[in-house]
Structure 1
């Protein structure tokens, strides 16, 4: 069973390298190297390796790691077609949720019939959505959609809350951000400015922003700041995806993220907090410009 999303796209790309002979049988696949290559954290890189093992394209050797397998003829076919189908269905389903076209409780059968998927494809879709936190299994039967933001006004309110919360986290007496975290975050932002903004999926862009803000807030060593931010992020995902139909503003956001990292690295936390407050205020202003997009209408 294939899982769509960031990990699956990485796995598909590596799988194609294997099928095309660019990664020979026996090649050692290292999660950190893959994470660096695709400018992601180790988690999706490790998930991608697990997918390659499940697909039979690689094998896991105890105490040694993951290695490329010899392929059978049946394994030579690319996996992108099914991934693309599930990605498109995910987008349709997300839009149906935002527009209230689905009931609060759904079954796998209903989704299979609504979107013309196989049982395996529906299970793949359900696994992803449950993992993202906006659908949860009901005891006994079916799935229920969790609380989600469905209006632009509500999304603006989350940013106003974040503007009050996040800069304060940077001023905590216990604040300390590891240099390795700064370097990892900087690499992702530089990747965005070097073309990633145009090529990354909505999911990847969203996760990149979530990871940046949760990392700098988490460095406060005050778990209450991070818990509050995670709660906000868990309920704004779908509207955030819709907002990514307009990507020009991400160049400015990436540059501002880099400026905040530079200030934190120098220990200038008060300046970083002030910059972060301005950064979030700018995002709030930008949301007004894309309100039609957030409401499911085209931006003129």
Structure 2
């Protein structure tokens, strides 16, 4: 009988992201953590030098972030970190409240175990990031939580509407970092919303959405 081959050691999956993907993620993170402030100009040459890469993938990454809305390209001047004005913040959160209140009602009504499990996992991730003082990670998990909330509504139209608000919400969350939000309070608000959804309490769930978004707008102003 042929000898049985020893079991192969476990291998980590290869990172299949392109260089442009990695650069875009790096710049996105620097915008979110405040290293690249609103209005700051970013140049291909400087980024390429800092990251020790050629200018081609940097150009591709910057174009992608312009399409996302995190960067603004001004002809004959260059590329700048997008600035969102205070009156725009209120409008973004008004639109979010319309979508998220309805999403919360639907999730609380149906109490889908899979949707609730996703939300619960994100709250725990947020709590871990809060304990570590990692605001950029909290902001990303915050976005993921609210996106999962809308996804859990089962409404394709609500999901499409919410996708258009994500980029502007990213910029708003970056602004919240500057007012030093109480990260434990952020976690507590999401946990309270999760509890209301799990209990099937639609009124309490929508009230939690209102409280959370109102606090964010107040902090940003």
TM-score higher than 0.5: yes
* Alpha-carbon distance in 2 for matches of 1:234, 1:197: 26
Tell me which residue corresponds to 2:102.
168
Aligned to 2:173: 240
Secondary structure of 1:170's partner? Answer: helix
TM-score in terms of structure 2 length: 0.68
Matched-pair contact (CA < 8 Å) for 1:263–1:269: yes
| Residue from 7, 10, 14 that aligns with 1:27 | 10
1:168–1:123 Cα change, 3 Å: same
Instruction: Return the match for 1:269 from 198, 202, 205.
Output: 202
Report Cα offsets for 1:44-79 as digits up to 9, x if no partner. xxxxx442x689xxxxxxxxxxxxxxxxxxxxxxxx
Residue number among 110, 134, 142 corresponding to 2:69 in the alignment: 134
Partners of 1:287 and 1:253 lie apart in 2 by 14
2:112 to 178, 184, 187: 178
Match of 2:149 among 216, 219, 233: 216
Residues 26/233 of structure 1: CA separation in 2 closer, same or farther (3 Å cut)? same
Supply the distance in 1 between the matched residues of 2:145 and 2:28 (Cα, whole angstroms).
27
Q: Which has the higher helix share?
A: 2
Q: In the alignment, what sits opposite 1:65? A: none
* Structure-1 separation of matches of 2:9 and 2:55: 31
Give the direction of change, closer, same or farther, for the CA distance of 1:121–1:178 in structure 2 (3 Å limit).
farther
Cα distance in 1, alignment partners of residues 17 and 104 from structure 2: 41
Aligned partners of 1:161, 1:235: CA distance in 2, in Å? 11
**C-alpha distance in 2 between matches for 1:134 and 1:197:** 30
1:123 pairs, out of 57, 74, 78, with 57
Cα offsets for 1:138-186 (capped at 9, x unmatched): 9xxxxx9799552233122211222233112333499635323323332
Task: Please say if residues 127 and 187 of structure 2, whose CA atoms lie closer than 8 Å, have aligned partners that are also in contact.
Answer: yes
Q: Which has the bigger relative contact order, CA under 8 A and spacing at least 6?
A: 2
Listed as ranges, the gaps of 5+ residues in structure 2 are 1-7
Number of aligned residue pairs: 200
Alpha carbons 1:147, 1:235 under 8 Å: kept: no
User: Structure 1: which 5+ runs fail to align?
Assistant: 1-24, 30-48, 56-81, 103-109, 139-143, 289-300
Q: Distance in 1 between matches of 2:28 and 2:81?
A: 23
Aligned partners of 2:29 and 2:145: how far apart in 1? 28
